Chain A
Amino acid sequence: DGGITQSPKYLFRKEGQNVTLSCEQNLNHDAMYWYRQDPGQGLRLIYYSQIVNDFQKGDIAEGYSVSREKKESFPLTVTSAQKNPTAFYLCASSAGQGFGGYTFGSGTRLTVV
């Protein structure tokens, strides 16, 4: 079945450490996105990519970095510059510009210890 796979499901980070969250899709979607969700809040866009080798900052990109070397993959690195990284991170994809919604992965829950 086609879908989006995020890993790991849970991740613990020490202060000052960079960590990378994986997102892979086999839906042949052009566009991919990273969102962050904090308790009781809506989703906020971190980065998005409409095409391979291109990506754009979202609303809260500071302290994060991404790459899009392959259509299927859009990893997110949470750097030590991100001061409050504890959150639920969701990766999504869509067929690109158009009218449709997004398909989400099952998320990674990141905790700073």
Chain B
Amino acid sequence: RKEVEQDPGPFNVPEGATVAFNCTYSNSASQSFFWYRQDCRKEPKLLMSVYSSGNEDGRFTAQLNRASQYISLLIRDSKLSDSATYLCVVRGRAGGTSYGKLTFGQGTILTVHP
């Protein structure tokens, strides 16, 4: 089983649609959770951190369920500019000699069309 698993998609949605991405992780000791966005042939950029209570940033809402080891990202009112690959990222517990590495899912491709 992969440490972080995502549905690779692709998701093709019209402008204005609501789309949800899901992600599961295998290490119950994971400490921090993120969604990154990666545009074609570019570097990943942090979209938002994910907190246990859930958090929202404009049109984007992230949820974390530690019991189920499940993370989600909801995008409302999709824009053409939202087209990208969305990476689910999990950070392990840091401490001692462990630096708490980031583990990346393979990404979910989103295309928003007119």
Residues of A participating in the B interface, judged by any CB pair closer than 8 Å:
31, 33, 35, 40-43, 45, 48, 50, 58, 88, 90, 96-107, 109
Contact = CB atoms under 8 A, between A and B. Distances in A.
Nearest to B106: A42
Interface of B: 4, 8, 31-32, 34, 36, 41-46, 49, 87, 89, 91, 94-95, 99-102, 104-107
Contacts of B49: 100-101
Contact of B91 (A99, A104, A107, A109): A99
B43 A107 contact: yes
22 contacts: A33-B102, A42-B4, A42-B105, A42-B106, A43-B87, A48-B99, A88-B41, A90-B44, A97-B94, A97-B100, A98-B94, A98-B100, A99-B91, A101-B32, A101-B49, A102-B46, A104-B44, A106-B42, A106-B43, A107-B42, A107-B43, A109-B41
Given A41-B106, A43-B104, A97 B99 contact: yes
Nearest to A105: B43
Contacts of A40: 8, 106
A90 B104 CA distance: 13
A42 B107 contact: yes
B101 A45 contact: yes
A42 B99 contact: no
A55 B89 CA distance: 22
A100 B94 contact: no
Contacts of A98: 94, 100
A26 B68 CA distance: 39
Contact of A101 (B41, B43, B102): B102
